[in-house]
Amino acid sequence: MEITFELIFTVVTALVTAILGTIFKDRVVPARFIPIQNIVIGLIAAFVAVYFGLFNDVATAIIISLALSLGVGGAYDALKTKKEEE
């Protein structure tokens, strides 16, 4: 398997979103604003990806980055909710 810049970008975006969500949730940012935080992270990641030439199309970079950051945030919440139910 060849490691590409896109794969590295995907992993880094997911990790940064998960780490910031864990750190900021309920401490700095109220839980209801976490999706907005994830959108901001996704937009920043998209512009970084375009700047470094990982994507040629800005719209594609934004869609992929937003999907990643919001998906990670949603997965985190789903796992946390499942653990609380047990």
8 A C-beta contact, residue 70 and residue 64: no
Question: pLDDT value at position 68?
Answer: 83
Question: pLDDT value at position 76?
Answer: 63
By three-state DSSP, how is residue 25 classified?
A: strand
Question: pLDDT value at position 78?
Answer: 60
8 A C-beta contact, residue 43 and residue 62: yes
Sorted by where each begins, the domain ranges of the chain are 1-13+35-79
Walk along the chain (86 residues) and give the pLDDT tens digit of each residue: 566 777 777 787 778 777 777 777 667 777 677 788 888 888 888 888 888 787 788 898 889 888 888 887 776 666 665 555 55
